[in-house]
Amino acid sequence: MENKIKIHLADDHQVLIDGMLAVLKTNSNFEVVGFSLNGENLVERVAKNGTDILVMDINMPEKDGIQVLREFNEKGFTCKVIVLSSYDDAKLIKEVVKLGASGYLTKQCAGENIIDAIRTVADGEQYFSSTIKDKIFNIFTNNSQNQAMNTEEIISSITARELEILNLISQEKSGKDISEMLDISVNTVETHRKNLMKKLNVKSSVGLVIFAAKHNLIEN
């Protein structure tokens, strides 16, 4: 009989950890050797208990998944990582892949998929869910053949501040209104507006609002 696959789980949601434990217990080839509710000391713990595969969320307190991956690279650890995130943001996927993760699943996936993923990654291959594969494919194709950016990437290139301002614009606020609400200069607001228009490739604030509405970037 071969050795069991040693798994470490990292997610700030206890219920999810518990659920995963239950799911993974059904497979006698898996052994969960530890779990973490945040990113602190995660790298050390994983290294210490000889983990084969780390199944990790991105959003975690103290230290997020991206930082953990980076640390893995810096310290030259070879533990394989499967990212299990709520988000399927193009920018995030790109980053995660670049940092050498072996797999990426969204939390919409079934427990079945996680088992598949672990098995696949344990065999030395990579595992990405089909929706993620599509995104990667889109990023790749739209990036190389077109000079234009992919909509996915456009959206994920919007910064937090820009999104904030995009929202206010979508609420009929003028530049001046916004500058007062955020306590910044009108010039700054207009710079953001300008940058947004360039990014989203639209001609006016109306274009911004249409784009925002179409891609559910605005609450309301």
Partner DNA sequence: TTTTACCTCACTAATTTCAGTTAGAAAAAA
Partner DNA sequence: TTTTTTCTAACTGAAATTAGTGAGGTAAAA
User: Which residue ranges make up the site for its own copies (CB under 8 A)?
Assistant: 169-170, 172, 174, 202-207, 209-210, 213
* CB 115 to DNA: min, Å: 31
Binding site for DNA (CB under 7 A): 66-67, 70, 157, 159-162, 174-176, 182, 184-188, 190-194, 197, 203-206
Residue number, 41 or 187, with CB nearest to DNA: 187
161: its two tokens: 């501040």
Q: Which does 191 bind (CB under 5 to 8 A by kind): its own copies, DNA, none?
A: DNA
Q: Which does 170 bind (CB under 5 to 8 A by kind): DNA, its own copies, none?
A: its own copies
Q: Which does 141 bind (CB under 5 to 8 A by kind): DNA, its own copies, none?
A: none
**Distance from the Cα of residue 209 to its chain's centroid:** 25
- DSSP letter for each residue of 159-214: -HHHHHHHHHHTTT--HHHHHHHHTS-HHHHHHHHHHHHHHHT-SSHHHHHHHHHH
Residue number, 75 or 161, with CB nearest to DNA: 161
Identify the CA nearest to 37 among candidates 66, 16, 53.
16
Q: Which does 213 bind (CB under 5 to 8 A by kind): its own copies, DNA, none?
A: its own copies
Task: Measure the CA angle with vertex 135, ends 216 and 199; round to 5°.
Answer: 55
9: alpha, beta or left, given left = phi > 0 and alpha = psi -120 to 50? beta
Residue number, 149 or 197, with CB nearest to its own copies: 197
